[in-house]
Amino acid sequence: MSKWSGAIGHFGCSFVLLFLQLEIQSAEIPEIQTNHMEAAVVQLIDTTRAHLEKNLNSAEAWGRLGMASHAHGLLQTAIACYQQAAKRDSTDYRWPYLAATALRNSNRTDAIAYYAEALKLKSNDHVLAITYADMLTRNGRYGEAQVLYEGVLPINEAQSFALIGLARIAYIDNDLVAARTHLQNARQIDPNDREIYTLLAQIHMSLGNEEAAKESEWLARTYPHANVLDAPIIEAMHSFAETADAFVVRGKRKTELGDYRGAESAFRQVLARRPGLAFDYGNLANVLSRQGQYAEALEYFERGLKINPNNVEMLSNQSLALMADDQLDRAGKKLIKAIELDPNYGHAHFNLGVLRYRQRNYGEAVEHFGDALSTNPALTQAYLNLGTTYAAMGKFPAAIDVWKQLERIQPNNSSLIFNIGLGWLRLGQDAKASSALRKAFDLEPNNKQIATTLIKLLATSERHSVRDIPQAITFAERLYASSP
């Protein structure tokens, strides 16, 4: 054997490694046309690209340009960058996950392959598993999807999503009873998800149960949103977005979460990025109002209405700030105008109902709360307010009827059920009052008002079937023991 053979072999290995390194380094950064983009986006793209040019071997640098591109709809560029990131770090599941996300609406086959790769790298990500299973279902690969859904059932955060997925597959397989059971179980976990009721309506209709189908259709209208799993990686990608529209989305999301200060910051960024559109001013005004900054809120409402004086949403929202500022007459005029412009805008009817209730004009309050529900069944607070208005008028049977409708939507709302119990008490219906109060107490045993009302009823009711002094004493002792 030649004395050089070992050296040649070693050199050959080095040559291969050098070749691979050069192959990676020679990857071209995709060209991105930025001349049509907002200035903030151009700056982000240019900065991210410049960083990548200095760090071509960095998976993170490629991934960041991919996410910046992805967040602004440049999907082909994003996919190319994610592929380069994965070449440099094949252990990071973010890159195939994000590539799958970019491909899911254009190339399901490739998206599925990327989801599979991502799940291999991080098998305990339940959001990824559900998303992957949903894609498999859309592609007709039901058996694989079912395995994934069943795998995440023990995880609380994913359980209702998995049950909905299993229900879809059972429905496709024409196993209607199993599909219904899955959805009923999902409803127990998350009763506010529209998709549950949409599917239930179809299943009940297929089973020939028209009444149950109508009930589910009504509930689907009551809950206007399908719930979405929060994926931190996807949120991180979206956080790169610098367009005005992206900040609008961000602000609305923060508003939904009750983060009004964060929403305010996002909506101010919108105004910094483009000349104010009417709804841009309205969005900012709305969150300022919710923070109690009524003077500034009213100023921004006026700016928005100057651009579009017939924006019914803004007129309705402005009325809330005016009511909070005790400008009731102005609020009423704004709401009347909004309803004249759009008689089917439920929020304006709801807000005018609130205003009329404050003015003790209960007849008109009833009318507008009813109109709010007929035009927008999702305004479930209108049921509570309508019942409260009837109670203020002394019409307790009507109040209870309305509250019982809301109980169908919110069966675990202890405050609502307590109100029903109080209504029965006012009507002298101790047995029905006891039933409602016991249910409210079971839902919220540490609520002092519920407990004391139930204890008093059990101790003093003239109906022998209701009076239960030993149990009243037991509840009183429990209440005393739980008091600080």
pLDDT (0 to 100) of residue 463:
93
Based on its alpha-carbon atoms, the radius of gyration of the chain, rounded to whole angstroms, reads 30
CB 162 within 8 A of CB 153: yes
State the CB neighbour count (10 A cutoff) for residue 49.
19
**Alpha helices, DSSP H, located in 26-107:** 39-53, 59-71, 75-88, 94-103
- Which tokens hold the place of 208? 């020939």
As a whole number of angstroms, the distance between CA 84 and CA 71 comes to 18
State the CB neighbour count (10 A cutoff) for residue 341.
14
Q: Which of 254, 316, 328 is nearest to 291 (CA)?
A: 254
pLDDT (0 to 100) of residue 484:
67
As a whole number of angstroms, the distance between CA 42 and CA 476 comes to 67
Q: Which of 367, 363, 362 is nearest to 350 (CA)?
A: 367
Query: Secondary structure of 28-49 in the HEC alphabet?
Result: CCCCCCCCCCCHHHHHHHHHHH
* Domains of the chain as residue ranges with CATH: 310-410 (1.25.40.10), 432-484 (no CATH)
Whose tokens are 């990676």? That residue is 24
User: What is the helix (H) or strand (E) element at residue 240, kind and residue range?
Assistant: none
Query: Secondary structure of 345-371 in the HEC alphabet?
Result: CHHHHHHHHHHHHHCCCHHHHHHHHHH
Q: What is the DSSP letter of 274?
A: S
CB 301 within 8 A of CB 282: yes
- Which tokens hold the place of 220? 């689907």
Reduced to 3 DSSP states, what percent helix, strand and coil does the chain have, rounded to the nearest 5? 75, 0, 25
State pTM to two decimals: 0.80
- Which tokens hold the place of 381? 């607070």
SS3 277: coil
As a whole number of angstroms, the distance between CA 234 and CA 288 comes to 29
As a whole number of angstroms, the distance between CA 138 and CA 144 comes to 12
As a whole number of angstroms, the distance between CA 242 and CA 246 comes to 6
Mean pLDDT by runs of 10 across the 484 residues of the chain is 34 37 62 90 96 96 98 96 97 98 95 97 95 96 97 88 96 97 93 92 95 92 80 94 94 93 97 91 97 96 97 96 95 98 97 97 98 94 96 97 94 94 96 96 93 95 93 88 74
Q: Which of 198, 143, 206 is nearest to 169 (CA)?
A: 143
- Residues 115, 117, 119, CA angle at the centre, nearest 5°? 70
Q: What is the DSSP letter of 454?
A: H
